[in-house]
Amino acid sequence: MQSESGGSPWPGQVTVRELADGREIRYFDDRATDGPVHEAVDTRPLGEPPHAGELRLDVLTGEWVTIAGHRMNRTFLPSAADCPLDATRDPARPTEVPDVDYDVVVFANRFPSYAPLVVGPASAGHPEVLGPPDRPATGHCDVIVFSSDHQASVVDLPAERLRTIVEAWAQRTAELSADPTVAEVFVFENSGEEIGVTLSHPHGQVYAYPVVPPRSAQLIERARQYRAATGSNLLADVLAAELAERRRVVLRGEHFSAYVPRAARWPVEVHLAPHRDVPDLAALDDAERNELGGIYQELLRRVNRFHPGIDRVPYISGWHQAPTGEDRKLGRLHLQLFSLLRAPGKLKYLAGSESGMGAWINDTTPERIADRLREVGV
């Protein structure tokens, strides 16, 4: 059966179960099967999930800072034998995933920056000049595990699995965006210890923020100014201009195109955007979702080939989506994929200028980045 968009619908299925502390776990299977699946029970003696921390306003910048003290002792680089994201193949060593195997799973983080559970009133009692009363850091922090294979990487997964991952991204975006306390949903993956990855098992995350994050707020304000001046969508016009100029375009598909932004900040950076105006991953139709997995995987391959002599480049990959509130019309879905590796064995450190003043300096040019990403294409 064909969807209205002309693409085949995802052939998989979703099964929702419950972990020992009440958190839901969602199994996304590449293909639907008859009969009950994933009935294994979580046998761990877990207590109640963590409660939300708090948001404090930085009165000097107007930005909300999340205070999540319970994360200080979160899991850090466990051995492969102790990985909490593996399937539970040994009943004596239960993990976060009770079943003996899985394709993709999604569950709430045990050490969340944002959580739906709140205890106690917001704190006050400080001078007004230091800001308003604290707000609870309500929201959601999902872990999305891409494979039961501990050694796998996204770039090497089969096309069928990438389609399932895209479906999980889209479904969780839709579900979390429906929460009235959520202001924006951010889907991202950190890859490589150099980036700060604390679990080597292939996985990503989904954050549902209670406030619009600073980068998004800045983008929305620029889009608002552009809309007032031109009547158009800023991100859509940037994509159109890049495609027309072609100098920094890296990859062009039927539904998505990738380009290096003209003011790229990182030594390796590329953006991926849909041709159609859509606010988020949930709004993609079947044809777009079907293409996305392959074109995203090709971008990862090119990033991994960027530096001669190495076959894995650490990266951060994040889907910027429209906020859920009144400014939703100003947002537009796009991916930012970048690496801190400026040369083999050499990282770009965010030292004095970038960290202290937010004044970015790139040691290469966006045009050179684009040339290399085209050069290493298949």
For residues 134 and 255, what is the distance between their CA atoms, to the nearest angstrom? Answer: 43
pLDDT tens digit string along 301-321? 999 999 999 989 999 999 999
Contact 150, 86 (CB under 8 A): yes
The tokens 């404090």 sit on which residue? 56
Who's near 270: CB < 8 A, 6+ residues apart?
Answer: 250, 258, 259, 260, 299, 303, 337, 338, 369, 373
Concerning whether 203 is annotated as a catalytic residue, the answer is: yes
Residue 56 makes CB contacts below 8 A (sequence gap 6+) with 64, 65, 67, 131, 134
- pLDDT(2) > 60: no
Distance between CA atoms of residues 113 and 50, nearest Å: 10
User: Whole-angstrom Cα distance, residue 160 to residue 30?
Assistant: 6
* Rounded-to-integer distance, Cα 303 and Cα 312, Å: 8
C-alpha angle 200-23-140 in degrees, rounded to nearest 5: 70
What CATH code would you report for 215-375?
Answer: 3.30.428.10
Burial of 195 (0-12, 13-18, 19+ CB in 10 A): middle
What pLDDT band is residue 122 in, cutting at 50, 70 and 90?
Answer: low
Q: Residue 93 corresponds to which tokens in the numbers above?
A: 């060593």
Decide if pLDDT at 3 tops 50. Answer: no
pLDDT of residue 6: 62
Among residues 209, 213, 20, 217, which one has the least CA distance to residue 113?
A: 209
> Each residue of 47-56: pLDDT tens digit?
888 888 899 9
pLDDT (average), residues 345-353: 90
**Is the confidence at residue 4, as pLDDT, over 50?**
no
Please state, in angstroms and rounded to a whole number, the distance separating the CA atoms of residues 326 and 66. 23
**Assigned token pair, 146:** 């891409």
Q: What is the pLDDT of residues 72-120, one digit of tens each?
A: 666 767 887 889 999 999 999 999 999 999 999 999 999 899 999 887 6
Q: What are phi and psi of 167, to 5 degrees?
A: -65, -40
Q: Which residue has the tokens 């479906």?
A: 167
Q: Model's pTM, two decimal places? A: 0.95
> Which residue among the candidates 201, 203, 255, 307 is catalytic per the annotation?
203
DSSP 206: E
